[in-house]
Amino acid sequence: MSIDAIADLIEIPPMEIDADFAFPCFTLAKTMKMAPAALAERITAELHKGETSSCIFSAMGPYINIHITIGDVVDKFFRGYEQYGSTLGTCLPKTKKILLE
């Protein structure tokens, strides 16, 4: 599966689920010939290795729940603003020209 196809599967969970986003592992599990819940546990374990304080991952059955810590995200944004100033979030000018025929 492509990264775009995987990203398209990310959804907002129902209100009773304490998560900001959820990734259902059904499609990916079929591709990898694994049980969805086992794949969710495996991916979550790998994500915990590189986990940051801004994002916490947890497996819940065949879903990977994603929790965003908004305070850390805002803090990183302001640190970026201090470093890059008003250019933060803007695209740098492209120096290469491409000729399409």
pLDDT at position 72, please? Answer: 75
Closest CA relative to residue 72, chosen from 89, 57, 55: 55
**pTM of the predicted model, to two decimals?**
0.69
Q: Is residue 100 predicted with pLDDT exceeding 60?
A: no
> Which domains occur in the chain, in start order?
7-84 (3.30.1360.70)
pLDDT in tens, 17-74: 999 999 999 999 999 999 999 999 999 998 877 666 678 899 999 999 999 888 777 7
**Distances in Å between the alpha carbon of 30 and those of 6, 33, 55, 71?**
13, 5, 26, 36
Please state, in angstroms and rounded to a whole number, the distance separating the CA atoms of residues 95 and 74: 31
Residue with tokens 């592992």: 25
